A and B are shown apart, each in its own frame.
Chain A
């Protein structure tokens, strides 16, 4: 027996959640050729048909582009810190891709080894992730090369499998998932399954072996020749999490703010002295691949990549993890 739900009931539920004060985010078509995860105003905004990988990732809703850490008031030579302790509003992310949901356990490690980042943790605790298993993939998808698949439940509180004719099987993986769907579904004999994944394109272990032994290698120069260092790969990646801490000045109300950053920017590691350990784009491209396939895995036992393909899909010059890893693996 399975639990199923129709698309119209699902949209109705989303509308209920919104009306009930929850923030609901999901894929929406914002321009004819652009799909983004964004906060939905109604259940009808939710894009469920077809396959177009959103150009951003769901990390936007747990680790926002800019997050105020605290405000401060300057009175003469005294300082008053102002913290925001109001509770995080409940949030549902619906129709997340499996490769987005799988990034959340990855981010959990980063924000909780030793020091706990409660900004992230509070949002994470207030968020329920409802994943939609993939019914198609495109030429940039490579989840199967990094140990995932189009029906992966990793990081999901519930997962939907399309059954056709506007019906979905609902599988709840956590209490948060059950809290959303219990009593809203119908019993059925039908069970869904995700499509077979894209063909495996590279061996991640071989990539790790290469990057840990080829720190100085012409490969990086050749590969980075066309890179313009825009950081789009990192910003649209579900797992990239590097950030900066900056002061927003008086015009912004005086606050210290955590903002997204990227290892692709030349200023990322520049020392005050002018020395930069990563002085050229090749060294920065190398860092990105090293971090994903060697540095993070050494610390946390898994790859810092879910194979979503956004780096390649959004890159203005056609680079991305898939092409680099494939080239490393197959020469």
Chain B
């Protein structure tokens, strides 16, 4: 029987503790044929599971160009993530996916890219940044503004340093006022304000903004002032999911099932939908 709920078994190959409560995990398929045939689009998600505890939904935060493994990143906040926190290298976890639509990286070709991320929203931005850098000639100027509450809450910091060495890339790191340390060299302020101060000169950019609702809300008027059309502003909706395949009935925003027609939606699409996210 073809069982759509059956997970792939994946071995944990690497664990990095990003912050006091965030870890990123690298996985490889135990089934070598599945490993060979697997592909996904950046922006898609997976349902990851700790056996004995349950399933949880996370973005696949590695680039789709990386063929030997996938990565996901999580904050320890509940039963499943508490269990995932305890896994070690060589342990086996479950994976279902890839699900959802992903970022339209083909359609973004030739455009300047602006990435605005807050807190734990970095992983779903990171995969797109890596993808764009790996296909550098396809994209224009790249700007990343990434902020968290405190310096200790910033994830993938070493990779931000690596990105900033690439051509036509501007990386801006920030922390909320009061979240800085004495030796902090980045900006201080909330992501929307820091972005506005940075006066990014982009022409007809694509903007990917992911973060807490308040961050997105405060970013939109700034983009509007810059003349960025809602159809060029993308986000990834984080509604709770269980099945990931359009059946369990909980992730909808109006008629849109986030697991199938999302999670990547434009602000133009969201403007036509009820605020059910």
Contacts and interface: CB of A to CB of B under 8 A. Distances in A.
Interface stretch (A12-20, A71-79, A163-171): A71-79
Interface string B75-86: 101100100000
A138 interface: no
A264 B155 CA distance: 36
B220 interface: no
Contacts of B242: 243-245, 261
Contacts of B78: 272
B277 interface: yes
B274 interface: yes
B255 A270 contact: no
A206 interface: no
Given A247-B51, A249-B52, A298-B255, A118 B2 contact: yes
A114 B246 CA distance: 8
Contacts of A246: 54
Contact of B3 (A69, A215, A287): A69
Interface stretch (A33-41, A43-51, A178-186, A250-258): A250-258
B196 interface: no
Contacts of B213: 275
Contact of A271 (B51, B240, B245, B248): B240
B5 A245 contact: yes
A258 B5 contact: yes
B249 A81 contact: no
Nearest to B54: A247
B6 A69 contact: yes
A256 B5 CA distance: 9
Q: Is the interface of B mostly helix, strand, loop or mixed?
A: loop
A31 interface: no
B240 A241 contact: no
A263 B250 contact: yes
Contact of B274 (A113, A215, A241, A256): A215
A244 to B, nearest CB: 6
A110 B248 CA distance: 9
B243 A77 contact: no
Contacts of B276: 215, 277-278, 287
A268 interface: yes
A178 B37 CA distance: 46
B32 to A, nearest CB: 16
Given A78-B92, A117-B5, A271-B240, 19 more contacts: A77-B92, A79-B51, A79-B92, A114-B260, A115-B245, A118-B4, A215-B274, A242-B250, A243-B242, A246-B54, A254-B51, A256-B49, A268-B250, A271-B239, A272-B56, A277-B275, A277-B276, A287-B276, A299-B255
- Rank and list the top 3 A-B pairs by shortest CB-CB distance, nearest first: A242-B249, A115-B245, A215-B274
6 contacts: A72-B51, A83-B1, A242-B249, A247-B55, A272-B77, A290-B254
Interface of B: 1-7, 9, 49, 51-56, 75, 77-78, 81, 88, 90-92, 94, 212-213, 238-240, 242-243, 245-255, 260, 274-277
